[in-house]
């Protein structure tokens, strides 16, 4: 593998000049630039990242932590990456599987100076851990975030969106509305809050039996449905905090002869690609994925360039999309 020295030798100049040609911005005579560029081409030279970043202590890379690879994230991170690229950064995806250890091991990349900052699309860190991290490195949380952390945040107004979704169910005349929720942290808790407020402001009681907690996985969707049926209840209307959960739940009900919207209504959250393709198509709260991905990077970028930049909370507008799962 060729290095800068060989290029310099071949072009008959010093390494400093080669460096200047590579990085631009300095004055180099046109003729020597040509020589150097020719040498670079002939030797198929490509600068060594370690050497460079050792010297400059910059990497031009950011991390994006993903709990899983779902198409929901595909457009979101594509947007992040596009924006990053436009600002001279490249992006590395870290697949955490919602595993705290995995997350921490990826964060080593930050400590090892392999990356300059990180965007979380979900995290298992505590607020305290997040804060120590954010004190030292640029951090932004997107979509999902832990409360009480002083990092940048990009999200929709989960509470308001959920209020709206549940209110739509109530407007259709539903009285018994179940919640397919999750551990009461982060957005799950906000979405539950919206659910509760909607019921309250319609004068409906919150029946604790109608709240089904579980984790965020696909299988858990089926489990919630099964639990409901095993409790001897049939669904009338359901507000589910994520499409990921809704689809398998729908499937489980279907296997028990219960169809949507014939037998019950469902409104869900995320606006994933699957939501418009499934049969029946999901009514769901759509998150502005492109904008979120973009804003997440921009917020990070501010901090990247200014250690004193004060982290912001950015709320983006959601959109309630009513499709076939509501009567």
Partner DNA sequence: AATGACGGTGAAAACGATTACATTCCTGTG
Partner DNA sequence: CACAGGAATGTAATCGTTTTCACCGTCATT
With beta carbons less than 8 A apart as the criterion, state whether 195 and 239 touch: yes
**x-marked contacts with its own copies along 54-93 as a string, rule CB under 8 A:** x-----------x-xxxx-xx--xx--x--------xxxx
Contact pick of 9, 204, 206, 281 for its own copies (by CB under 8 A):
281
- Would you call the peptide bond into 315 cis, given omega within 30 degrees of 0 as the criterion? no
* 210 is an interface residue for its own copies by CB under 8 A: no
Binding mask 96-135 for its own copies (x = CB under 8 A): -x-------x--xx-xxxx---------------------
- Nearest one of 167, 171, 145 to 156, comparing CA atoms: 145
Measured between alpha carbons, how far is 327 from 322 in angstroms, rounded to an integer? 10
Q: Considering CB distances under 5 to 8 angstroms, the limit depending on partner class, which of its own copies, DNA, none binds residue 151?
A: none
Q: Is the CB of residue 270 less than 8 Å from the CB of residue 242?
A: yes
Q: Does 52 bind DNA (CB under 7 A)?
A: yes
For the CA atoms of 83, 84, 88, 90, the dihedral, rounded to the nearest 10 degrees, stands at -140
Give whichever of 40 and 198 is closer to its own copies, judged by the CB atom.
Answer: 40
C-alpha span between 65 and 63 (Å, rounded):
6
Q: Which is nearer to DNA, 52 or 124 (CB)?
A: 52
- Are 94 and 106 spatial neighbours (Cβ–Cβ below 8 Å)? yes
CA distance 220 to 325: 20
Would you tell me which residues interact with DNA (CB under 7 A)?
A: 1, 3-5, 12-20, 22-23, 26-29, 31-33, 45-48, 50-52, 54-57
Would you tell me which residues interact with its own copies (CB under 8 A)?
A: 1, 46-51, 53-54, 66, 68-71, 73-74, 77-78, 81, 90-95, 97, 105, 108-109, 111-114, 218, 247-248, 250-251, 254, 273-274, 277-281
């Amino acid at each position: 593998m060729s290095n800068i020295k060989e290029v310099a030798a071949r072009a008959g100049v010093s390494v400093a000049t080669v460096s200047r040609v590579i990085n631009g911005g300095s004055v180099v005579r046109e003729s020597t630039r040509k020589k150097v560029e020719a040498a670079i081409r002939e030797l198929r030279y490509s600068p060594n990242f370690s050497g460079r970043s050792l010297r400059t202590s910059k990497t031009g890379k950011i991390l994006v932590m993903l709990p899983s690879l779902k198409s929901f994230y595909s457009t979101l991170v594509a947007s992040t990456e596009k924006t990053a690229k436009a600002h001279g950064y490249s992006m590395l995806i870290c697949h955490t599987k919602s595993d705290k250890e995995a997350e921490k091991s990826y964060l080593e990349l930050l400590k090892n100076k392999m990356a300059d900052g990180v965007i979380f699309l979900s995290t298992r860190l505590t607020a305290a851990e997040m804060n120590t991290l954010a004190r030292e490195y640029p951090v932004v949380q997107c979509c999902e975030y832990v409360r009480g952390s002083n990092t940048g945040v990009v999200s929709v107004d989960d509470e308001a969106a959920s209020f709206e979704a549940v209110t739509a169910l109530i407007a259709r005349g539903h009285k018994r509305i179940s919640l397919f929720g999750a551990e009461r942290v982060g957005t799950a808790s906000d979405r539950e809050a919206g659910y509760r407020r909607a019921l309250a402001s319609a004068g409906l009681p919150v029946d604790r039996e109608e709240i089904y907690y579980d984790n965020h996985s696909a299988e858990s969707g089926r489990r919630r449905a099964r639990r409901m049926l095993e409790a001897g209840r049939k669904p009338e209307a359901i507000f589910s905090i994520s499409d990921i959960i809704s689809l398998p739940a729908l499937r489980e009900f279907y296997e028990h002869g219960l169809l949507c919207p014939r037998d019950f209504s469902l409104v869900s959250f995320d606006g994933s690609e699957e939501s418009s393709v499934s049969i029946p198509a999901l009514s769901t709260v759509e998150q502005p994925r492109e904008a979120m991905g973009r804003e997440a990077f921009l917020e990070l970028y501010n901090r990247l360039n200014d250690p004193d930049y004060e982290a912001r909370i950015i709320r983006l507008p959601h959109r309630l999309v009513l499709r076939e799962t509501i009567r």
